[in-house]
Amino acid sequence: MKITSAEFKKGIRGTDKILGELRLQIPFIGRSNVGKSSLMNFVLNRKNLVKSGKTPGKTLEINFFLVNKEFYFVDLPGYGYAKKSVEMRNQLGRMIQWYLFDVEVFERKIVLVLDAKAGPSDMDMEMLRLLREHNRDLVVVANKIDLLNQKERSRKLKAISNLMPGIEIIPCSAKKKEGREEILKALSE
């Protein structure tokens, strides 16, 4: 897949007619601060289209970006801060679950973003369980792989694979620009 264009379309907080469009939606989900927005910019080859930042929990809406005038990248709020664990039951958590599990769309491919160094959190595992329970089409990536040296890297990837059997884990780094082709390939399968 080649990216030829990307533009912000709109942010929503609840039901909206954009959800009913006959277009593929590709939401990036994961913990706050794991690098969802950075990764979307990297994959789209755009510097600052998707707002990323140091303040966790900044994204309060579900933001739609039209890509190649054809499908949507969807930026969602993160679930839970690094330390102060916000439960999936709070308002943002409910919004994420509503979009992923209550809203049926034309087609959806979900990118679950993990922290390569920290590995999957309890909430990541819970999210994975829910995604599988709902038979969601899924791509799992391990971001911030640049924080690991060669040895830690293979050890960590193996450990993550063991926790998520039967799922291919794509190592990537928005910072060091690694894994873009692999992610695009997985999304076009």
Partner that binds at residue 14, options Mg ion, ligand GDP, none, CB closer than 5 to 8 Å by kind:
none
121 interacts with, out of Mg ion, ligand GDP, none, CB within 5 to 8 A per kind: none
**142 touching ligand GDP, by CB under 6 A:** no
Task: Pick the closest to residue 105 from 29, 8, 11, 25 (CA basis).
Answer: 25
Read off the DSSP letter of residue 11: E
| Ranges within 18-47 binding ligand GDP (CB under 6 A) | 30, 32-38
Which of 25, 11, 186 has the alpha carbon at shortest distance from 104? 25
Gap between the Cα atoms of 75 and 59, Å rounded = 8
Burial of residue 119 (number of CB atoms within 10 Å: 0-12, 13-18, 19+)? middle
Residues 16-75, interacting with Mg ion (CB under 5 A): 36-37, 59
In this structure, are residues 126 and 88 in contact, taking their beta carbons and an 8 Å threshold? Answer: yes
What tokens does 154 get? Answer: 């293979």
Residue 33 contacts which entry, Mg ion, ligand GDP, none (Cβ below 5-8 A, type-dependent):
ligand GDP
Does residue number 63 form part of the binding site for ligand GDP (CB under 6 A)? no
CA–CA separation, 172 vs 35, rounded Å?
10
Instruction: Report in angstroms how near the CB of residue 20 gets to ligand GDP at its nearest.
Output: 26
- For strands 169-171 and 138-143, give the pairing: parallel
In the complex, minimum distance from the CB of residue 79 to ligand GDP, in angstroms, rounded to a whole number: 10
DSSP 8-state secondary structure symbol assigned to residue 118: T
Which is closer to ligand GDP, CB of 21 or CB of 119? 119
Q: Does 9 bind ligand GDP (CB under 6 A)?
A: no
Q: Where does residue 169 rank: exposed (0-12), middle (13-18), buried (19+ CB within 10 A)?
A: buried
Q: How far is the CB of 54 from ligand GDP (least distance, A)?
A: 5
- Please identify, using beta-carbon distances, which residue of 142 and 186 lies nearer to ligand GDP: 142
Among 175, 180, 182, 187, binds ligand GDP (CB under 6 A): 175
Query: Which residues are near ligand GDP by CB under 6 A?
Result: 30, 32-38, 52-54, 78, 143-144, 146-147, 173-175
